[in-house]
Amino acid sequence: MSSKISRRKFLETGAIAAAGLTVVPSSVLGKSMGYKAPSDKLNIAAVGVGGMGNSNLNQLQSENIIGLCDVDWKYSKRVFDKYPNAKKYYDYRKMYDELGKSIDGVVVATADHTHAIIAADAMTMGKHVYVQKPLTHSVYESRLLTKLAAKHKVATSMGNQGSSGPGVRQVIDWIRDGQIGEVTRVEAFTDRPIWPQGLMTPKKADKVPSTLNWDLFIGPANKRPFNEIYHPWNWRGWWDFGTGALGDMACHILHPVFKGLNLGYPTKVQGSSTMLLTDCAPNAQMVKYVFPQRDNLPKVAMPEVEVTWYDGGLTPMRPEGVPAGKNLNDQGGGVIFYGTKDILICGCYGVNPWLVSGRTPNSPKTQREVTLSHEMDWVRACKESPENRVETASPFSEAGPFNEMVVMGVLAVRLQALNQELHWDGENMKFTNIPSDATVRTIIEDGFKITDGHPTFDKTWTEPVNAIAYAEEMIKHTYKNGWKLPDMP
């Protein structure tokens, strides 16, 4: 469309064409109306740039990177050097204060426990957000980001990049075409953790590096002395900061399950694991979710389904018909869909789906093809008006409820000492069958030693705490140290 066309002429003759556009050039509608032309560059600020944030920024170099924030300037130095024109910050709040009027979108790739507050503060300012997986650290935080995204009409995406890939689309197409029949059981696994887990809380405090702001890393979590075991990267295994292998990888591996089977809130859950310690995720765990019957699709019914998760080296039993010697771990994990007609298997990120029968169905395509990178598809959505926006492959309207499922599985593992299947009221974010007088306690130290040639344990336990209160705190964290989330819309 020529930029010389008059506004009146456009409005009179371009209504039909405009209905098919997702972006109307700002030269026509005017920047004052909030529209951004496709040729305009997005002004992006990033929080947490030393690790995955750097990978995200590598995909966003066509845009204007105007602000970089990280609590560790040594870890992030190579990224700061890569974008010399971007202003550097330790505290994202200061960056928002100083650059807020210029920022269009924010990339969040910090430790899990600070995803929610950084993204929520950005959305309440009207900024688009891209947040690394897991979307949040808790169920309540996921619900909050979902509702804030809807309220402020911003473009959103969780960083589960497989959702933009062809494998996920193929899985969904085959399921919706009825190629594997009704699915009543799914098993999924990852080869993670590949970071230390199953650890007792370190007793010694290390000197905080001069380039690290440890208080800002702690953020809304409980204060604790710095130890080199927590940072960088290994924070994933510590409950206050991360969500273990389940939170890290299920957002990749279970996405085709959640989307392909139209899952919502589970109704039942059970967890089990190797030794469960107070502060650190276990070495290996299993979680079984039960999802109720959903509305049938035109070509296939959606009955109640059990979804079982394995990590830490545990894997499902091999289905009959899978060739001997074939490794089902594809790029870090795998999924097995047991249908009444066939068995569908795919890898992590939904890659390389195949049917055990050997068939390759030619099913109708039902999903939008993403031709850009996962990050640049978010940029595309940011540049579209809310009224005409084509959502990303993992918008918070989907990623939020999905992430609730993932982190609720963490609760099942941490509540396993109750020795019962837990019933979940997803709408109200609470377990409904924990006895009012039930208590839980966890192991502080295992006290392992060899006595007269025999291995022994002299475990140190926490004091018993009310199980309902314990669960409620994990569902909705009490923010510490003066940090506060925006109110739920």
Helix runs in 100-154, H state only: 115-124, 139-152
More confident residue, 456 or 253: 253
Q: What is the mean pLDDT of the chain?
A: 92
CA torsion, ordered 34, 35, 38, 42, to nearest 10 deg? 10
Q: Print burial letters for 10-35: b (CB count within 10 Å at least 16), e (below 16).
A: beeebeeeeeeeebbbbbbbeeeeeb
Quote the pTM value.
0.91
Residues in CB range of 453: below 8 A, 6 or more apart: none
Residue 290's pLDDT is 98
As a residue count, the chain comes to 489
Residue 416's pLDDT is 97
Residues in CB range of 460: below 8 A, 6 or more apart: 443, 444, 445, 447
Residue 84: both structure tokens together: 């010399």
More confident residue, 394 or 39: 394
- Residues above pLDDT 90, as percent of the chain: 90
What is the mean pLDDT of the segment spanning 307-333?
97
- Is 274's pLDDT higher than 50? yes
Residue 29's pLDDT is 35
- Is 392's pLDDT higher than 50? yes
Domain ranges of the chain: 38-163+376-383, 165-206+236-370+396-475
- Common-topology check for domains 38-163+376-383 and 165-206+236-370+396-475: no
pLDDT category of residue 19 using cuts at 50, 70 and 90: very low
- Residues above pLDDT 70, as percent of the chain: 92
Residue in 160, 133, 174 with CA at minimum distance from that of residue 345: 174
pLDDT category of residue 451 using cuts at 50, 70 and 90: confident
pLDDT category of residue 322 using cuts at 50, 70 and 90: very high
Name the CATH superfamily for 38-163+376-383.
NAD(P)-binding Rossmann-like Domain (3.40.50.720)
What is the mean pLDDT of the segment spanning 393-407?
98
Give pLDDT tens digits for 277-301: 999 999 999 999 999 999 999 999 9
Give pLDDT tens digits for 71-130: 999 999 999 999 999 999 999 999 999 999 999 999 999 999 999 999 999 999 999 999
Give pLDDT tens digits for 41-57: 999 999 999 999 999 99
What is the mean pLDDT of the segment spanning 339-357?
98
461: left (phi over 0), alpha (psi -120 to 50) or beta: beta
- Is 333's pLDDT higher than 50? yes
CATH topology assigned to domain 165-206+236-370+396-475? Dihydrodipicolinate Reductase; domain 2 (3.30.360)
Burial (Cβ within 10 Å: 0-12, 13-18, ≥19) of residue 138? buried
